[in-house]
Structure 1
Amino acid sequence: MSTRRRHIAHLHLHARLTEEQYGHIIELVSGITPHVQAVPPDAVQLDLTSALRYFDMSPYEAVHMVKMRLKALYDIDCSAGLAGNRMLAAMAADASAPEATTWVPAERAAQWLAPRPVAALPGIGRSTAATLGKYGLHTIGQLAELPPATLQRLLGSAQARLLAERARGHDPRPVVAAEPAEHLSVDQVLDRDCLDPAEQHRAVLGLADRLGQRLRGQGQAAGRLTLTVRYADRTSTTRTRTLPESTGHSPALAGTALALLAGLGLQRARVRAFTVRADDLRPAAAAHRQLSLDPGADRARAVEAAADKARRRFGPGAVRPGTLAGAGPQVTGR
């Protein structure tokens, strides 16, 4: 069994994020380490262990790099905790002042935990804290020094074993990615009723591009696409189409989304919002791709991969399709 010391960071994001914005944050930090666990709606955990050699940084420097990128690209401040496991990193982040980082080295974990109140330990709620308080157990250090048999009589064997381990700073849980979502969706609300087919085309094209970015960022491919159009009178129309093959390739998604739009015949409709949703998701690595003799198809995917890399480094607005350049309707989206 490997005894390599782990370095886990827990970041509290001081911002109210939409689902899409939070997804962009996960994509950004995934460019630093592949071991990222989402803690929605405003936190994220990273296992930096394998990234430290690559970047030739100390754990503290790596956390500082993540915080700088979040500030530079998204204007998001965050407090952070850095420790040898997930529990300690989360507790250290909770104890950090805004924009500060608290580092709890493994050799100082017991010393750092000892004076903290028992209620700060994950798994101890008000009722358990009150029970421990009746017996003079007010700090984590007191809990760690208590004989296991005594703690079992107070709390029962299962909870006692768990809390005894946590009071000593132990947490074996790895940082793991969350289960993939059943579907992904993006929407766009226009700031005025839209009757212009060109602007409607442009809006749906932009949504398909954003959806493709999210799918590729999560390593997913969609098998079905749904377009919902909401009108000024609050009615809506929904159309669904199965894709020729599961994909996260933006041009393929755009082709299907625009075909759905064209089929609605909205020449005189007063459109207020669009939603494009991807269903029947599966891992991109498991999706079958039809071989093509067209070298342009491979070039397009290579350009797309390079654009995704640039967005992860410089922000989601760093690269845009040429068809979306220039002025357009003001929108809000998620």
Structure 2
Amino acid sequence: MTTPPARCVLRIRFHLPAGPTGEEIYERLLDLVADITARYQPHPPDTVDLDLTPALRYWAPRTPTEIAQLLRLRATALFGISSTAGLGASPMIATMALAGTPPGKLTAVAPGPAAVEAFLRPRPVAALPGVGPATAKALHRLGIDTVGRLADTPPATLNRILGTRPARQLHTRARGIDERPVQRTALVRSTTATHRFPHDELDPAVRRRALLGLAEELALRLRGHDEVCQSVTLTVHYADTTTTTRSRRLAEPTAHSPALRKTAYELHAAHALQRARVTALTLRADGLAPAAAAHHQLLLDPDDDKHHRLEQAADALRARYGADAIRPAALAEPPAPP
């Protein structure tokens, strides 16, 4: 009887330019991914999971690492795009491998139980998917600060700390068990805008001004294509090359600048950055849909109607005189010194 091949999952993040150009390249890269394996799952705006298991026979005698390098090489040769990748026996292992990989490199975790255990046990418990700041803090209070200690903790103890369902899920993951499939899903369209600071930015006022510009850019882009978005995601890039991401679903699909700006500010506050050294901010509008299919909740507030009418007038001026004809005062460039 032939032993089935060990499961092999590749998570790859492409380093794409911001804006519509990056979105277009991402969709073309998915065609490149489909040439490697038919079993893949997009994670817009820049990441894809590939289940290489069914493709190993086709690509033999290449190893999974060589297949991953082939995909990365093709992305660079055809589109000039570099990438970072993690390879493991499950989506969780591949995700964690990618998270700890320097930009432009590949980390491969061998599929055997011993290799998976050696990879997981020394890692901080906060690195395990599903462990947020509050959960990590609760675990740290009991001295559970690594994935290995979490795996060694009796389930009954975790139940008292976290509750039955979260405890069972995290205890299973800490032992390297992740049976989630990699499956094709409908590609949910999104659009992104990125602001890169000239130096490590610690001033929250400067970051909020950048967020204002990003929200305005996304709102103009959506209205220019007669589209609305259903949620907003903010990714913060730090000086040590790590990132954190927060998302929030909107009360209603919209392309209204004040709504996107307010949500961006709330996401920024939720990051609790304090003295973090921030190098860039990426704001993404997710779940794009035609504006004609969206419904606007009428409010008993004359200011809301006034803001929408002002927005329409400003868009008309931009269409006639250019995108920079009118902008928020906070984004106006200071006058040059005499």
Aligned: 1:95 with 2:100: yes
Distance 1:82 1:127 in 2: 29
Which structure is richer in relative contact order (CA contacts within 8 A, separation 6 or more)? Answer: 1
Alpha-carbon spacing, 1:101–1:184, altered in 2? closer, same or farther (3 Å): closer
- Alignment gaps of 5+ in structure 2: 192-314, 324-338
Task: Give runs of aligned pairs for residues 1-334 of structure 1, distance below 5 A.
Answer: 4-16=5-17, 18-56=22-60, 57-107=62-112, 108-179=115-186
Q: Which residue does the alignment assign to 1:285?
A: none
Deviation of residue 171 (structure 1)? 0.9
Is 1:84–1:106's contact at 8 Å kept on the other side of the alignment?
Answer: yes
Q: Which residue does the alignment assign to 2:307?
A: none
Alpha-carbon spacing, 1:151–1:3, altered in 2? closer, same or farther (3 Å): farther
Is 2:97–2:107's contact at 8 Å kept on the other side of the alignment?
Answer: yes
Where in structure 1 do 4 or more consecutive aligned residues deviate above 3 Å?
231-236
Is 1:83–1:103's contact at 8 Å kept on the other side of the alignment?
Answer: yes
Q: Which residue does the alignment assign to 1:254?
A: none
Is 1:70–1:76's contact at 8 Å kept on the other side of the alignment?
Answer: yes
Q: Which residue does the alignment assign to 2:215?
A: none
Distance 1:180 1:59 in 2: 25
Query: When the two structures are superposed, what TM-score results if normalisation uses the length of structure 2?
Result: 0.53
- Alignment gaps of 5+ in structure 1: 186-230, 237-271, 273-334
Deviation of residue 38 (structure 1)? 0.6
Distance 1:36 1:133 in 2: 36
User: Which has the higher Rg, Structure 1 or Structure 2?
Assistant: 1
Alpha-carbon spacing, 1:38–1:65, altered in 2? closer, same or farther (3 Å): same
Paired residues, number: 192
Sequence identity (%)? 41
Alpha-carbon spacing, 1:180–1:70, altered in 2? closer, same or farther (3 Å): closer
Distance 2:70 2:15 in 1: 17
Distance 1:125 1:104 in 2: 24
Distance 2:178 2:108 in 1: 16
Distance 2:87 2:81 in 1: 19
- 1:263-304 residue CA offsets vs partner (Å, 9 max, x unmatched): xxxxxxxxx9xxxxxxxxxxxxxxxxxxxxxxxxxxxxxxxx
Distance 1:234 1:134 in 2: 55
Distance 2:76 2:316 in 1: 37
Aligned residues: CA RMSD = 2.6
Distance 1:16 1:172 in 2: 33
Q: Which residue does the alignment assign to 2:330?
A: none
